C-alpha cells in the first residue's frame, strides 16, 4: 500500500515539476481577434474616425519605459487618455530600451505585453523583426533618413548630448575641458555606463568630438573620462532627480531634453551643448508586431506625430522629428522652440556601424578607465 | 551588593550605552532623509508638503493595502511550510539538515533579475490556476523569505531539544498537530516572531519581482513617485520605514501570554 | 526495515521539496541551462559563457565581491551579536526589546535607491555629516569602501534579528552553575557561552555573507560605472542597450554565484561539525 502511494506521489511530483518548466495555457486574449485598421485605406476621410472607434473598443494601451519626466511623457500620456478615453498602462517606467524588447519577448501573446516601443538606435535597428509596419498620417513630413522605408520604425524626437550644471553650486563650464578643473572635484556624473547604456556611449562620443576626434575611434573620449576619473572629478553614482536636487551631482552629462527637465525642480539648473562637439541622437518609435492592442497602438502613434503630440515633446525639451515641417506650416510652438539651447557646430549622428565599433571598444577599455 | 545584583546593574548600564551609541549612529542617515524631505524647494514650497502628499496619493494607498495583504499571506505560507518541515527534519531525517539549509539559502544567492526569466512559466500557471492579481506574488515571496526565516527558526529550534520534547508528548498520546502547535511552537516563540518580522519586512521592501511582473506593490509605487518628485519619494521611503516599525511593533504583541499564566 | 523507514520519514519533507521544486529549483534550472547556450534563437549548446568566467576581469570582480561580502558579514556579525546580546538581557516583554527588534526587522530589509540616498544625504557632497565634520572629499562613498559601510547598515540589524533567538536560548541556570563552580565572566563565556552560541553565530554569519553577495539595487545606485561586483555585472549583461542582452553570460555568472555560496556553505558545514562535536 505504502509503496503504491509513494509511486503515485512521485509521478505526481514529476508531472508538477515538468509543468512548472512550461508555460500555462493562455486565457483567451480579449483583443487577439481585433482586425488591424491600419491595413485599410488610410487616405479615406473616415480613416481616423474608424481608427479611433476601433482603438476605443480595445480600451487600453500598454506602454513601457516611459518616465513621466522623459520628454514630457507624463503629460503626453495624460493628454492621450483624456482625449480618447483609452487607459494607458505604463509599466517599468525606469527601465532601458533593451529591457523593452526583452519584456515583449517574455510576454509574447499575453494581454500585458507592450504595444509600442520607444527605443534607442542600436536596439531598434537590431530588432526590426519585432516591429509591425505602419505609416502615420503625417508620414510625408518626416525626412527620409529618419524613417524605415517599410514603415517598421520612425524617429520620434531627438536631442544633443549636453552638460547640465547647477549654476548656484559650480562655475559655468564652457566646454568639457573645463570640467577637469579642481572646482569640479567629486561633482561630475555621466548618466549611464557606456558598456550598457546608450546615453553613456553618447557621452563618450561627445567627449571624443570635443577632443577633436571622430566617432570612428573612441579612444580620445575614453582618455578624457580616464583623466576626469583620475582627477577625482567623476563620480560613478547613478544620476536621479534626488542626486541633482540635493547637490550631490551638480554637473551631469546627459541628453539635453533630460537635463532640461530638471530646471523645473531646480531653477538654477542650466543646460549647455558644448561648441563644436555636438553629438546628436534620435529615439525610435515602433509598434510591437504582437501588440495585444494594435489599433490603440496605431492611434497612439497618430497622436504622437500630430501637431499636438509633437508640441508636447517640444515642451519636454526634445526636438520633435516634424519640427522643420511644422515651422514651415507655422504650427510649432514658437516660444518653446526658441527656448531650446543654442547649438554651435555641425551635429554628428553616429551610424549603426560606428555604434557597433564603439560598443566593442568600450567593452574592452571602459572598465579600466573608471576602475 | 550580591554578585547577581551587580551583574544586573552592569548589564543595564552596558545595554543603555551600547544601544545609545549604535542607535545614534543608525539614526543619522534617517535624519538626513528627513531633513531632505522637508527642505524647501520649488517642488516642496512648504516644509510638510511632501509628507502631506503621501496621504493624498490614491495609488500609494492601494499599493500599501496590497503589500500588507501580501505580507500577511506570505507569513502564513512561510510558517505552514517551514515550521513543520524543520521540526520533522530534526526528529526523523537529521541527515537532510544541510541539504535543506542549502536549499533555503539558494533564493538569496540568485539575483531576482536572473530568476525572473525562469519564474515566467511558473507564474503563468499561478495566474491560470489561482489568480492573476498581485496576490499571486505570495508564491515567489514565500520562497524569497526562506533564507531569513529558516535562519531565525533554526536559531530557536537549536536551543531546545526538539526530539525529546516531541517524543515525550507523543508518548503521552498527543497528535502531531498538538506536538507542533502546543509543545514546540510555544518554546520557540521568539524565533517564530523573528521569522515573521523578517517575512513582513522582506515583502514590504520587495521591488524587483513585483515590477518585472507588472504588479503595483508599495515599493513599485514609491519608485514611480521618485521619478516625478524627489522630496516626496524620500518622504515616502521614510514613512514606509516608520510604518514598518509600527507594524512589527504591533505584531510583537500577538501571542502575548496573559498575566495570570505561570511562567514555565 | 531501516530503508523503508527512511523513505517514509523523507515523505514528510515532500510538501516542502515540492514547493521549492516548483517555485525555486525549476526556475533556477531553466536559467542555468541557458548558461550553456548561445544567445540566438534557437539557442545552441556552447561553453562560451562559462569560459568568460575565467577572464582576468571577471576573476577580479569575483574576488572583490567575495571580499566585500566576507568583510561586511564578519563586521556585521560581531557588531550585531553584541547588540543582540544587550537586547537579550533586557526584559523579554519590555517595550525596549519590542522597539529594537521592530526597528532591526525593518532596517534589515532597507536597501536600494532609498538607502543609497540616505547615505548620500548624510556623507555626500552636501551631506549632513559632511557639513558637521567639514569633510573634504567623500567620493569614496561611491567605491567598494563606501559599499562596505552602506551594506553594514542592513547587515547589523539582520544579524540582531536572526541571532537573538539563539541568545534567548541561554538558560540562566548555566550562568548560576558556572558561578557556583567559581568561574568568572571571561571563563563562563569562553567555556560555555561562546561554544554554545557558535553554531548559531556561524549560521547567521553565513546568511549575512549570502545577503551581501547578492545585493544589487543598493550597489547599482551608488556605483553605476564599471560593474565592480558580480551582481552589477549580471545587471550589465541583461539590460544592455549597447551590445544587446547577453542572457547566457548573466546565467553563467549566476551559476558561479551559486557555486561560490555552495563552497562557502561546505566550509561552514565542516566548521560546524568540528566545533559542535563536544555538544553531542
Nearest residue on chain C to B89, alpha-carbon basis: C13
A18's CB contacts (< 8 A; 6+ apart) are: none
- Helix pair B97-109, B58-91: axis angle to 10 deg: 160
Which C residues, 10 through 29, put their C-beta within 8 Å of a C-beta on chain B?
A: 10, 12-13, 15-16, 19-20, 22-29
Average the pLDDT over each of A41-45, A83-87, C76-80 and give the range with the smallest value.
A41-45
Q: Select from C225, C247, C251 the residue whose CB has the most chain A CBs within 10 Å, as the one to mutate to test that interface.
A: C225
pLDDT-derived band at A41 (thresholds 50, 70, 90) equals: low
A95 closest CA partner among A54, A65, A135: A65
Is B97 an interface residue toward C (CB < 8 Å)? no
CB contact under 8 A, C241 and A95: no
Is B212 an interface residue toward C (CB < 8 Å)? no
How many Å lie between the alpha carbon of B231 and the closest alpha carbon of chain A? 8
C126 closest CA partner among A54, A38, A187, A161: A187
Rounded CA-CA distance A204/A254 in Å is: 11
Is the per-residue pLDDT at B253 higher than 90?
no
Helix (H, G, I), strand (E, B) or coil at A307: helix
Q: What is the pLDDT of residue B116?
A: 86
Q: Is B217 left (phi over 0), alpha (psi -120 to 50) or beta?
A: beta
Rounded CA-CA distance A311/A189 in Å is: 30
Find the Cα–Cα–Cα–Cα dihedral C269, C270, C271, C274, rounded to 10°. 120
Q: What is the pLDDT of residue B255?
A: 63
CB contact under 8 A, C23 and B122: yes
CB A32 within 8 A of CB A43: no
Q: What is the pLDDT of residue A30?
A: 43
CB C33 within 8 A of CB A24: no
Q: What is the pLDDT of residue C11?
A: 79
Is the per-residue pLDDT at C93 higher than 90?
no
Is the per-residue pLDDT at A45 higher than 80?
no
Is the per-residue pLDDT at A275 higher than 80?
yes
Is the per-residue pLDDT at C1 higher than 80?
no
Q: What is the pLDDT of residue B135?
A: 92
Is B234 an interface residue toward A (CB < 8 Å)? yes
> pTM, whole model, 2 decimals?
0.92
Nearest residue on chain A to C28, alpha-carbon basis: A21
Q: What is the pLDDT of residue A39?
A: 46
What long-range pairs does C217-221 form, CB within 8 A, spacing at least 24?
C217/B207, C217/B208, C217/C111, C217/C112, C217/C113, C218/C111, C218/C112, C218/C115, C218/C116, C218/C147, C218/C150, C218/C151, C219/C147, C220/A238, C221/A237, C221/A238, C221/A240, C221/C112, C221/C113, C221/C115, C221/C116, C221/C117
Q: What is the pLDDT of residue B173?
A: 87
Question: Could you report the per-residue pLDDT of C150-198, keeping only the tens digit for each?
Answer: 999 999 999 999 999 889 888 888 888 888 888 888 888 888 888 889 9
A–B CB contacts, 8 A cutoff, strictly below: 67
Question: Could you report the per-residue pLDDT of B93-134, keeping only the tens digit for each?
Answer: 888 898 999 999 999 988 888 888 889 889 988 988 888 889
The bridge status of strand A251-255 relative to strand A319-320 is: unpaired
Is C166 an interface residue toward B (CB < 8 Å)? yes
Is the per-residue pLDDT at C249 higher than 70?
yes
pLDDT-derived band at B256 (thresholds 50, 70, 90) equals: low
Average per-residue pLDDT for chain A: 91
DSSP characters over A203-268: HHHHHHHHTT--TT--HHHHHHHHHHHHTT-B--PPP-HHHHHTTS-SEEEEEHHHHHGGGGT-TT
Q: What is the pLDDT of residue A65?
A: 96
CB A295 within 8 A of CB A54: yes
Which among A25, A92, A106 has the least Cβ separation from residue B120? Answer: A106
Q: How many residues does chain B have?
A: 264
B249's CB contacts (< 8 A; 6+ apart) are: C98, C99, C102
Residue A215 backbone phi and psi in degrees, to 5 = -75, 5
Q: What is the pLDDT of residue A42?
A: 67
Nearest residue on chain B to A267, alpha-carbon basis: B42
Q: What is the pLDDT of residue A35?
A: 44
Amino acid at each position: 500500500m505504502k509503496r503504491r502511494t509513494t509511486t503515485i506521489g512521485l509521478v505526481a511530483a514529476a508531472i508538477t515539476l515538468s509543468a512548472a518548466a512550461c508555460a500555462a495555457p493562455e486565457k483567451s486574449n480579449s483583443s487577439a481577434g481585433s482586425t488591424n485598421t491600419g491595413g485599410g485605406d488610410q487616405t479615406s476621410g473616415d480613416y481616423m474616425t474608424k481608427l479611433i472607434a476601433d482603438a476605443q473598443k480595445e480600451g487600453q494601451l500598454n506602454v513601457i519605459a516611459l518616465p513621466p519626466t522623459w520628454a514630457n511623457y507624463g503629460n503626453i500620456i495624460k493628454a492621450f487618455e483624456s482625449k480618447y478615453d483609452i487607459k494607458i498602462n505604463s509599466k517599468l517606467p525606469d527601465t532601458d530600451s533593451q529591457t523593452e524588447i526583452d519584456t515583449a519577448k517574455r510576454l509574447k501573446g499575453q494581454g500585458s505585453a507592450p504595444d509600442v516601443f520607444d527605443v534607442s538606435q542600436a536596439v531598434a535597428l537590431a530588432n526590426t523583426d519585432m516591429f509591425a509596419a505602419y505609416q502615420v498620417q503625417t508620414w510625408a513630413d518626416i525626412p527620409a533618413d529618419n524613417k524605415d522605408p517599410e514603415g517598421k520604425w520612425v524617429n520620434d524626437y531627438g536631442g544633443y548630448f549636453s552638460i547640465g550644471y547647477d549654476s548656484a553650486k559650480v562655475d559655468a563650464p564652457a566646454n568639457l575641458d573645463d570640467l577637469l578643473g579642481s572646482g569640479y572635484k567629486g561633482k561630475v556624473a555621466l548618466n549611464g555606463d557606456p558598456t550598457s547604456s546608450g546615453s553613456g556611449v553618447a557621452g563618450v562620443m561627445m567627449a571624443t568630438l570635443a577632443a577633436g576626434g571622430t566617432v570612428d575611434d573612441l579612444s580620445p573620449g575614453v582618455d578624457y573620462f580616464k583623466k576626469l576619473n583620475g582627477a577625482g572629478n567623476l563620480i560613478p553614482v547613478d544620476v536621479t532627480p534626488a542626486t541633482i536636487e540635493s547637490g550631490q551631482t551638480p554637473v551631469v552629462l546627459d541628453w539635453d531634453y533630460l537635463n532640461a527637465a530638471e530646471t523645473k525642480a531646480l531653477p538654477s539648473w542650466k543646460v549647455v551643448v558644448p561648441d563644436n562637439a555636438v553629438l546628436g541622437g534620435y529615439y525610435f518609435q515602433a509598434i510591437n508586431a504582437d501588440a495585444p492592442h494594435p489599433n490603440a497602438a496605431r492611434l497612439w502613434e497618430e497622436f504622437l506625430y500630430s501637431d499636438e503630440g509633437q508640441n508636447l515633446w517640444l515642451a519636454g525639451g526634445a526636438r520633435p522629428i516634424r519640427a522643420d515641417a511644422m515651422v514651415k506650416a507655422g504650427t510649432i510652438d514658437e516660444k518653446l522652440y526658441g527656448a531650446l539651447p543654442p547649438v554651435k557646430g555641425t551635429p554628428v549622428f553616429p551610424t549603426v556601424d560606428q555604434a557597433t565599433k564603439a560598443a566593442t571598444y568600450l567593452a574592452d577599455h571602459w572598465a579600466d578607465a573608471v576602475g | 551588593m550580591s554578585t547577581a545584583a551587580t551583574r544586573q546593574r552592569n548589564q543595564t548600564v552596558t545595554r543603555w550605552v551600547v544601544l545609545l551609541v549604535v542607535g545614534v549612529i543608525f539614526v543619522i542617515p534617517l535624519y538626513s532623509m528627513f531633513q531632505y524631505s522637508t527642505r524647501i524647494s520649488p517642488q516642496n514650497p512648504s516644509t510638510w508638503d511632501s509628507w502631506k502628499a503621501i496621504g493624498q496619493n490614491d495609488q500609494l494607498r492601494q499599493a500599501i493595502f496590497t503589500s500588507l495583504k501580501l505580507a500577511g499571506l506570505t507569513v502564513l505560507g512561510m510558517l505552514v511550510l517551514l515550521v513543520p518541515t524543520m521540526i520533522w527534519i530534526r526528529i526523523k531525517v537529521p541527515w537532510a539538515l544541510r541539504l535543506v539549509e542549502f536549499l533555503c539559502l539558494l533564493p538569496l544567492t540568485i539575483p531576482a533579475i536572473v530568476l525572473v526569466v525562469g519564474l515566467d512559466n511558473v507564474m503563468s500557471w499561478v495566474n491560470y490556476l489561482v489568480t492573476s492579481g498581485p496576490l499571486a506574488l505570495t508564491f515567489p515571496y514565500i520562497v524569497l523569505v526562506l533564507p531569513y526565516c529558516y535562519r531565525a527558526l533554526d536559531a530557536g529550534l537549536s536551543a531546545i531539544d526538539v526530539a525529546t520534547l516531541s517524543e515525550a508528548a507523543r508518548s503521552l498520546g498527543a497528535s502531531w498537530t498538538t506536538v507542533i502547535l502546543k509543545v514546540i511552537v510555544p518554546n520557540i516563540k521568539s524565533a517564530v516572531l523573528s521569522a515573521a518580522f523578517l517575512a513582513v519586512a522582506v515583502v514590504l521592501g520587495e521591488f524587483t519581482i513585483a515590477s518585472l511582473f507588472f504588479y503595483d506593490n508599495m515599493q513599485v509605487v514609491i519608485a514611480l513617485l521618485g521619478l516625478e518628485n524627489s522630496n516626496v519619494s524620500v518622504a515616502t521611503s521614510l514613512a514606509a520605514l516608520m510604518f514598518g516599525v509600527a507594524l512589527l511593533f504591533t505584531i510583537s504583541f500577538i501571542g502575548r501570554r496573559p498575566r495570570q499564566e505561570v511562567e514555565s | 526495515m531501516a530503508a523503508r523507514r527512511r523513505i517514509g520519514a523523507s515523505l514528510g519533507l515532500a510538501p516542502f521539496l515540492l514547493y521549492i521544486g516548483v517555485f525555486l529549483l525549476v526556475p533556477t534550472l531553466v536559467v542555468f541551462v541557458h548558461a550553456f547556450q548561445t544567445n540566438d534563437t534557437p539557442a545552441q549548446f556552447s561553453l562560451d559563457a562559462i569560459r568568460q568566467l575565467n577572464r582576468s576581469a571577471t576573476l577580479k570582480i569575483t574576488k572583490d565581491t567575495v571580499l566585500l561580502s566576507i568583510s561586511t558579514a564578519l563586521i556585521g556579525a560581531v557588531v550585531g551579536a553584541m547588540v543582540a546580546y544587550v537586547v537579550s538581557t533586557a526584559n523579554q516583554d519590555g517595550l525596549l526589546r519590542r522597539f529594537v527588534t521592530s526597528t532591526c526587522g525593518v532596517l534589515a530589509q532597507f536597501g536600494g535607491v532609498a538607502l543609497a540616498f540616505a547615505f548620500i544625504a548624510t556623507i555626500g557632497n552636501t551631506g549632513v555629516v559632511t557639513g558637521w565634520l567639514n569633510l573634504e572629499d567623500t567620493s569614496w562613498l561611491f567605491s567598494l569602501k563606501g559599499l562596505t559601510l552602506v551594506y553594514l547598515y542592513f547587515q547589523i540589524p539582520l544579524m540582531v534579528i536572526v541571532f537573538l533567538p539563539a541568545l534567548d536560548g541561554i538558560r540562566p541556570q548555566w550562568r548560576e552553575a558556572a558561578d557556583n563552580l567559581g568561574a568568572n565572566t571571561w571563563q563562563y563565556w569562553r567555556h560555555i557561552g561562546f561554544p554554545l552560541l557558535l553554531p548559531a553565530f556561524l549560521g547567521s554569519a553565513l546568511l549575512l555573507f549570502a545577503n551581501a553577495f547578492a545585493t544589487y539595487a543598493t550597489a547599482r545606485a551608488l556605483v553605476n560605472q564599471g560593474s565592480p561586483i558580480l551582481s552589477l555585472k549580471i545587471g550589465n549583461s541583461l539590460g544592455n542597450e549597447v551590445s544587446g542582452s547577453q542572457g547566457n553570460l548573466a546565467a553563467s555568472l549566476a551559476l558561479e554565484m551559486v557555486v561560490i555560496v555552495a563552497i562557502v556553505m561546505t566550509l561552514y558545514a565542516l566548521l560546524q561539525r568540528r566545533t559542535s562535536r563536544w555538544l553531542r
